[in-house]
Every structure is written in structure tokens, then in C-alpha cells.
Amino acid sequence: MTSTAHQPWAGATTVQPVLSAKGVTKQFSVAGGHFTAVDDVTVDFHQGKVLAVVGESGSGKSTLARMLLRLLPVTSGQIIYEGRDVTHIRGTELRKYWQDVQAVFQDPFASFNQFFTVGHMFKRSLRLAGQGVDTDELIARCLGYVGLKPDEALPKYPHQMSGGQRQRVMVARALMMNPKVLLADEATSMLDASLRVSVLNVLQDLRRDLGLTVLFITHDIGQACYLADEVIVMEHGLVVERGETDKVIFEPQHEYTKRLLSDVPDLKGSLKHRV
């Protein structure tokens, strides 16, 4: 099966997407030439939906996420946000974009300054974003979204929290910016099984309760299928399969997708009654 980068999704909505990648390619210079990490990928993200990008290490999924976040420049193609080309915006425009499109990364511990409490980190983030009014109420509300209590979380240093608590704190910090899109790049990969489920449930609740659009980057197709409305599968920088989650699970077309599913033998049975 060839790349389906320009083919429409089965069941795709005609409503304008919140965020899109249009034919994006990323090449890196290597000895003797170029390495193509992402090859002509087009994908849309719609309000209130969870889209998962699945692939093994080196598939290009994290590179795609970093281009969407404008942390990596594209070699070619466009990033479109709310109908506007943001591929080359800079300065104030880029900072505003980063407030609207927030990210949670793989290692929650590395995202903290180990010498500051959670409360200090939150207040500093809000000051840098220019939000200095009613911050206590905002912080409490965002911690509540992820199931944490201010009096328990804010006085703590990172080493005093579990991995799941730290990841929830990072989600809460992202929510304080009132984003429209949340990119979670391998956000559960360093957590044990029970903590992974708790973070996945938080993301699911945020999608449902806040209408948040979520891009979930993962190597684990089981997590993707548990959480996502739609799935795209990447291999060697190409989108090799895409579709609504149930269709990808029960009617996979590409051999690579079938192999990923075979690594989770009880997946189909466990997801027959998923919410």
C-alpha cells in the first residue's frame, strides 16, 4: 500500500479543521546527502477530537509533532492554524500560537526545574504569558481538571511527586494557557500501566468536557486505540494507514499496521466495548 497522505479520511468532517499539516516534509542533512524524516504528510485536526499518530521509533511521528509546534522548521509544506498559514510566523505571533497550541512531552521530570515547587512554576508560567490576574483561581481550576488538589500539589517539589502526578501537573500547566490544541508526545511512555490509564483518562475527559483538540503521539497502538477517534500510522516518514479508530483496529489494510496490532493480541477483544 502506498502513502495515503493526500487521501481524505473515511468519515472525515467537512468542518474547517483547527490545525492542519499540508504536505509537510522534513529533511535533515547527513553525510553524503539528506535524510527524509517526514515525507509529504497531510493531516487535519478537528475541534474536540483526539487524533493519534502511531509508529515505531524513527517513523517520523515526533518530528511531525515538532513541526506542528513550530519547534522545527518544515523543509516544504504548510502548517495551517484556524485557516491561517503559520508556517513562518515569528515573534509575538509565534508566542501567541504557542499559547493556543500547547504540548506535553515524554519525560515529566525533565520538564521541571528541580529547585522550584509546582506553585512557583505555575506562577512563573503565567507571568511569562502575561496572565497576572486571578491566577490562584485559574491554577486551582486547571489542577481540578486533572484530579489534583492545590493544597496537595502546589507546595511540592518534583521529586516529591509520582510520575503520574508530575505528568498531570504538566497537563494542568498547559491548560492554564487556555489552549485549543494539546499535543501529547509520548506523554505516557515513561509511566507504569496504571498511571498510563489515569493520564489517558484525563486526556479523554478534557476532550469531552472542554472541547479540547488532542494530538496523541505514541508507539503503542493499544493506547492510541483506547483514546483516539481517528488514527494515522506512520512508517519511515510516510502515512501508511489512516481512518476512524474502529476501522483501523478491525479492518487494517497495511502490513505494518497489522504487525503493530499483532503485538497487542488482546486488543480487539478489549476494545469491543470501549466508550
pLDDT tens for 137-172 read 888 888 888 888 899 899 998 888 887 788 888 888
Q: Is residue 12 part of a domain?
A: no
How far apart CA 167 and CA 153 sit, in angstroms, is 12
pLDDT of residue 162: 83
pLDDT tens for 51-95 read 999 999 889 999 999 999 999 999 999 999 999 999 999 999 999
Taking the C-alpha atoms of 190, 232, 241 and 269 in order, what is their torsion angle to the nearest 10 degrees?
60
How far apart CA 140 and CA 27 sit, in angstroms, is 43
Query: Quick one: angle between helices 163-175 and 135-145, nearest 10?
Result: 130
pLDDT of residue 13: 46
pLDDT of residue 250: 86
Burial of residue 132 (number of CB atoms within 10 Å: 0-12, 13-18, 19+): exposed
Q: Is residue 198 part of a domain?
A: yes
pLDDT tens for 176-187 read 888 899 998 887
Q: Is residue 6 part of a domain?
A: no
* Strand blocks (E) in 179-255: 181-185, 213-218, 230-235, 238-244
Q: Which residues pair with 76 in a beta bridge?
A: 25
What's the domain count of the chain? 1
pLDDT tens for 233-263 read 999 999 999 999 889 888 889 999 999 888 7
Instruction: List the domain range (segments joined by +) for residue 52.
Output: 19-270
In the 8-state DSSP scheme, what is residue 180? S
Which one-letter amino acid corresponds to residue 152? E
Q: Is residue 96 part of a domain?
A: yes
> What percent of the chain is modeled with pLDDT above 90?
39
How far apart CA 149 and CA 81 sit, in angstroms, is 34
Tell me if 179 sits within 8 A of 99, measured CB to CB: yes
Q: Is residue 101 part of a domain?
A: yes
Backbone angles phi, psi at 35, to 5 degrees: -110, 125
Query: Quick one: angle between helices 193-210 and 163-175, nearest 10?
Result: 20
Q: Which residues pair with 242 in a beta bridge?
A: 232
CATH code assigned at 156: 3.40.50.300
In the 8-state DSSP scheme, what is residue 182? E
Rounded average pLDDT over 118-130: 83
How far apart CA 126 and CA 138 sit, in angstroms, is 10
